[in-house]
Amino acid sequence: MNNLTRPGDSQGSYSSWFLLLVALSVTTLITANVIGSKLVRLGDYVLPAGILIFPLSYIIGDVLTEVYGYRLARRVIWLGFFCNLLAVTAIWAAGAWPPAAVWRHQRAYEAILGYTPRLVAA
């Protein structure tokens, strides 16, 4: 672990590059699932918008594995899945919660974010 120090070591904490890669990994995973229900045109193809950002999570995972090792990369992947599950649970709970009488966008919320749990399950 030459590019990374463990918490509790005399030097302190994780390198800023490692933390950046962790943040990017989790962000790409969650973002890809949230925007996954939107269809976009890419040339002659119609694709889910998540397909544009999801491959970045694989690239980041490869960099994490090469630089920091399989053990830490696996931890980051599990962290991403946990954060994704937390985000989906919050999105689902907010959609299930009865809206305020003054808020007229419940159908739009459900149309846009209602698919998120299914995308994560897939």
Q: Looking at the domain assignment, is residue 7 inside a domain?
A: no
Q: Looking at the domain assignment, is residue 11 inside a domain?
A: no
Q: Which domain holds residue 34?
A: 16-121
pLDDT at 62: 96
Is-contact 25 80, C-beta < 8 A? yes
pLDDT at 8: 43
State the alpha helices, DSSP H only, in the chain.
16-34, 54-68, 70-96, 106-113, 116-121
Q: Looking at the domain assignment, is residue 5 inside a domain?
A: no
* Average pLDDT taken over every residue of the chain: 87
Rounded Cα gap, residues 68 and 84, in angstroms: 22
Q: For the chain, how many structural domains are there in total?
A: 1
7 Cβ neighbours under 8 A, 6+ residues apart: 13, 14
Q: Looking at the domain assignment, is residue 114 inside a domain?
A: yes
pLDDT at 100: 95
Whether residue 6 has pLDDT greater than 60: no
Q: Looking at the domain assignment, is residue 4 inside a domain?
A: no
Q: pLDDT by residue (tens digit) across 31-56?
A: 998 888 889 999 999 999 988 899 99
Q: What are 98's two structure tokens? A: 């009865």
Q: Looking at the domain assignment, is residue 52 inside a domain?
A: yes
Q: Looking at the domain assignment, is residue 3 inside a domain?
A: no
Q: What is the pTM of this model?
A: 0.77
Whether residue 10 has pLDDT greater than 60: no
Q: pLDDT by residue (tens digit) across 14-29?
A: 889 999 999 999 999 9
